[in-house]
Amino acid sequence: MIRVILLIGQLPRRVLAALAVALACSALASCARAQDPSELSPAQRDRFAGELRTAVAALPGIVNSQVAYRPGATLEATDLTISFEQPTGPAAEPVVRDITRLAWTSPLRPLPGLRITIGRYATPDYTIIDSNWTDTNVAADLTRRYGPRPTTTPTR
């Protein structure tokens, strides 16, 4: 430790100034990341996932819906999975559009994508639809259809 201090004492003032600026920038960047206003607290995530769960369950023809939000999930690179069954009623396509709209316009984040599963697992009619929202073409299409994703946290 003493040797490092002695070596630093021998450095030219310009080098010391550059090191000080670099350390200050690094510290500021760390603080900015730690206080990112776009980050949601666990309570906010739970609240918004609950609101999405309620909205999905209210869609016509939906039975046994489930909403699972796992930030940072590694399975299939999606944080949000919405599952439902449709024993009777409208075809799945309009419901998938409604679910996609609800998820896209929800304040949940991070949200790099969406997985929708339809039907009972391991049955012939079981369907999986994945949407990767980090793909700029997919994101542009969803923005065109439903508007931009929320970037601030609602105060409600």
pLDDT tens for 38-69 read 578 889 988 998 999 999 999 887 888 889 88
> Would you say 81 and 117 are in contact if contact means Cβ atoms under 8 Å apart?
yes
- Under CATH, what is the fold of the domain 42-146? GMP Synthetase; Chain A, domain 3 (3.30.300)
Which pLDDT value is given to residue 76? 53
Higher pLDDT, 61 or 12: 61
Q: What is the mean pLDDT of residues 2-18?
A: 45
Say which residues have a Cβ less than 8 Å from residue 66's Cβ, sequence separation at least 6: 53, 81, 82, 83, 84
| Residue spans per domain, the chain | 2-34, 42-146
Which of residues 63 and 147 earns the better pLDDT score?
147
CA neighbor of 66 nearest in space, from 116, 105, 108 = 116
156, pLDDT greater than 70: no
Residues 79, 110 contacting (CB under 8 angstroms): yes
Structure tokens, 133: 């929202």
**pLDDT number for residue 140:** 95
pLDDT digits 0-9 by tens, 62-93? 888 889 888 776 545 467 888 888 754 457 88
Q: Which amino acid is at 95?
A: V
- pTM of the predicted structure, to 2 decimals: 0.68
pLDDT band at 18 (very low <50, low <70, confident <90, very high): very low
**Cβ atoms of 80 and 99 closer than 8 Å:** no
